[in-house]
Structure 1
């Protein structure tokens, strides 16, 4: 693990050594302050769970394999692929981790910075507090699932797509059981470029009426440079599954992947229906499947 440190110039910082089980010796006042580091056995990772995606959040996973409790105040993740640090969702919260314990500290993800390459590294800055002092410790935060690189690539592609046209789900019309509902996608050209919306992928909750084994439902919406009129597409949808926990435990059922092509570059971008429409869709799935209230 790569470790660097940026201590705060606060009185009593030496007391932190004992409180946080950091090693150190008594020194004279003229000696330079020791650089605080993570206690031995403490490890951090940066990760994103399915439940974090719609809210644009992630988690700093901290494991305390040391011999003393660890108290963490301010948390921020610094990564050149973001336009600013990711900070605690609940500002001012303090987390105490017992020896052998773990904690997942949720953070808000800022917008991506598309001037940075997809490959990069994240550092986490932790404010470690003791009885009478605190210090900032900076440590590398591995991303074992590679979610930051994928998110950066996807959102930077979306940025290039929206230079030519904005994309939004603008309506939902529920249906009776057995019949398809209508999900409305609006493509609004800017006039500044060409783009093609090739298709939309099924989710773990939503499928498309008349779907085959293909995972992507064709849309074939083409926008030419100079176009200005919005294109509205009605997408016929049906539930992909009808077990109640699919709705009760839904995390990404209304986050759709759109297959796009822009300036010869093909890929997929994510588009969320929004919280209000998500609620309507979940209610419709429950009624359509026969387990609604």
Structure 2
């Protein structure tokens, strides 16, 4: 008869001849030789993803069902999971895409480690690295964008082809503190779009204290088909702004899928590739 732990034995019951199961040894909470590196590829930028690169420096295969970062300044923590676990053979690395969440801007804690969940449901804590400062940079940008949103958001809203040139329309949509105003200082070119004037950037220097539109005359940056075929960030426009309190930063104005396709088709036509 099974009894609760710690209850006394009834009178007359002897211990002799009784066998008790041995408690299983505790499982290791780490994976020696395994670590996680944070990287971001160009294709991740419009998706707001990073890659959790699991590096298996051990001598055995590791199977991972889920992975997440700890102490990286995002809430909830960026994580990857899949019904089909990732198999990382000894001596190899595997990239696991993780979406960026909401930046915790009040008090950012440094990246400390990563947590890996194995197919049996157990978890392991491993060392995490951000050697290129990717998370720190993204966190700074996200916190600036959060601060700017109370004044306005900037959206890549329209695109008007004009033969070999075009006009880009950025909508500045006022937020609750729009009357404080912000200054759109300049917009940086991309791998696909550049100022029609031939200048290095679109100089705007325009203060907006209400919703409005910023118009950018554009021309193709490059005309080789390889640039179009391999494009990842050509329709992500970096907009440099200054807030009313003097802070400066960059907000990415990302074209939606349908608009991106129009831009790509226009570049091909404008370059005479059709």
- Interval of TM-score (by shorter of Structure 1 and Structure 2): 0.7 to 0.9
2:195 aligns to what?
A: 208
Q: Judge conservation of contact 1:166–1:187 (CA < 8 Å) in 2.
A: yes
Cα deviation, residue 54, structure 1: 0.6
Aligned partner of residue 74 in structure 2, secondary structure: coil
1:243 matched to 2:224? yes
Q: Which runs of 4+ in 1 moved over 6 A?
A: none
1:36 aligns to what?
A: 29
Cα deviation, residue 233, structure 1: 2.0
CA distance in 1 between partners of 2:265 and 2:163 (Å): 12
1:258 matched to 2:250? no
CA distance in 2 between partners of 1:82 and 1:231 (Å): 32
Cα deviation, residue 65, structure 1: 2.1
CA distance in 1 between partners of 2:93 and 2:72 (Å): 27
2:265 aligns to what?
A: 283
CA distance in 2 between partners of 1:109 and 1:44 (Å): 16
Structure 2: stretches of 5+ with no match in the other structure: 1-20
Q: Judge conservation of contact 1:80–1:116 (CA < 8 Å) in 2.
A: no
Q: CA RMSD in A?
A: 1.9
CA distance in 2 between partners of 1:191 and 1:211 (Å): 37
1:165 aligns to what?
A: 152
Q: How do 1:169-208 and structure 2 match up within 5 A?
A: 169-177=156-164, 180-190=165-175, 192=177, 193-208=180-195
1:109 matched to 2:91? no
Larger radius of gyration: 2
Please state which structure has a larger fraction of its residues in strand: 2
Q: Encode CA deviations 1:112-160: one digit per residue, 9 max, x unaligned.
A: 122233x62153211134xxx4520122311121111111111211121
2:202 aligns to what?
A: 217
Q: Judge conservation of contact 1:154–1:270 (CA < 8 Å) in 2.
A: no
1:98 matched to 2:79? no
Change in 2 beyond 3 A, CA 1:68/1:190: closer
Q: Judge conservation of contact 1:260–1:269 (CA < 8 Å) in 2.
A: yes
> What's the TM-score once normalised by structure 1's chain length?
0.79
Q: Encode CA deviations 1:156-214: one digit per residue, 9 max, x unaligned.
A: 1112112112211221112313xx201101112336222111110011221011122x3
1:141 aligns to what?
A: 128
CA distance in 2 between partners of 1:98 and 1:52 (Å): 24
